[in-house]
Amino acid sequence: MRAGSRPAATPTPAALSGFAPRLRAGDADKVELDDYLSRADAVPRPDIDARLNHLHRVTSRRQPWPELCIFAFDHRKQLADLALETGRDPACIPELKLLLLAAAEAAATEAGLDRRSGILADGTYGQRSLNAITGKGWWIGRPIELPSSRPLRLEHGNIGSQLIDWPLEHVVKCLVFYHPDDPVALRAEQDALLLEVWQACNKSGHELLLEVILPENGPDKDERHYHTMLEHFYQLGHPAGLVEAAAAGQRPVGADLSAYRARRSVVPGHPAPGAGCAIGSIAFRFRRSGRAPDDQGFCRRPNHLWPAFAPLDAGRTG
């Protein structure tokens, strides 16, 4: 041992007992163990240590998703409004969503996307679609936000009571309209609910997809704000499993995501009015941000009602 060096901490039997259930189950990841051993003196109860629990959660995920093609048809308000405008019975919307699911399955089969397919579908009009696809090896995301709500509201009330009935393979998707220069009270209210959602997901074992969008009616839509907001959310204490946000601006979001071992970030493309395709602008954004390893994938959200397939690289977890 070099002079002046400090011997590694020796964990006590009582502290190691907190790892016993995980070790017996074979799911104590090396990263988790290394983190504990590096600071064992400061962690008398590893079973309740926040950092270790986060590492355990993100290094023992049930399903790796190295590549995904996701079809989003979780629209609720848009379809209800369209039914009202055209004099149609909203009761036909669930049938439409079954047709959309059938089309997605057919497209995935034709494209050979086995274990690389996913959907975003709601429980309001798409519960039958969710029931039909569950257990087939697809990535499944479900929205919980009340459409267009700002401040954020949950469509079906308390998140904990909702997740009791959700299969674990369903990913919680929460969309929030947010701006870093929002009034302090509005930011605090939205932060509190997002933390509640994140904590509920931690307890239930569900993953979280946080979708962050600048308010449509806001005066400032500088896309560099997305980087500021992502940093804020991670520092707030809920590094979401999947984060959908727009271009990172001058430095890549990936530099921040890697520390939290998040699934990956996705860059959505919003075509300008009249534009036929956003691919060119998306490519420019990736070049500008340096195409960091964490910024893997993009999705195209046309101004029209239905989004296109959204490639998303859920990537490695390290």
3-state secondary structure 58-88: HHCCCCCCCCEEEEECCCCHHHHHHHHHHCC
Helix-, strand-, coil-residue percentages of the chain, each rounded to 5? 40, 15, 45
- Please list, in sequence order, all residues whose beta carbon lies within 8 angstroms of the beta carbon of residue 217, skipping any fewer than 6 positions away: none
Average pLDDT over residues 238-257: 39
The pLDDT tens digits of the residues spanning 38-92 come to 888 888 888 888 777 777 777 766 677 878 889 999 999 999 999 999 999 999 9
Cα separations (Å) of 150 from 28, 183, 269? Answer: 40, 12, 22
The answer to which of 49-63, 188-202, 291-305 has the lowest mean pLDDT is 291-305
The residues facing 170 across adjacent strands are 140
List the chain domain ranges: 13-59, 68-312
58: exposed, middle or buried (Cβ count in 10 Å: 0-12, 13-18, 19+): buried
| pLDDT value of position 269 | 43
pTM above 0.85, yes or no: no
The pLDDT tens digits of the residues spanning 113-124 come to 998 999 999 999
The answer to which of 5-19, 141-155, 217-231 has the lowest mean pLDDT is 5-19
pLDDT grade, residue 13 (50/70/90)? low
| pLDDT value of position 281 | 34
Q: CATH for 68-312?
A: 3.20.20.70
| pLDDT value of position 227 | 81
Answer whether 140's CB lies under 8 Å from 123's CB: no
pLDDT grade, residue 237 (50/70/90)? low
Please name the residue ranges forming H helices in the chain: 13-16, 20-25, 30-38, 50-59, 77-86, 93-111, 127-133, 159-163, 184-204, 225-236, 254-260, 279-289
Tokens of 73: 């048809």
| pLDDT value of position 36 | 83
Mean per-residue pLDDT of the chain: 73
Q: Which residue has the higher pLDDT, 114 or 33?
A: 114
Confidence check: pLDDT of 138 > 90: yes
Average pLDDT over residues 34-38: 84
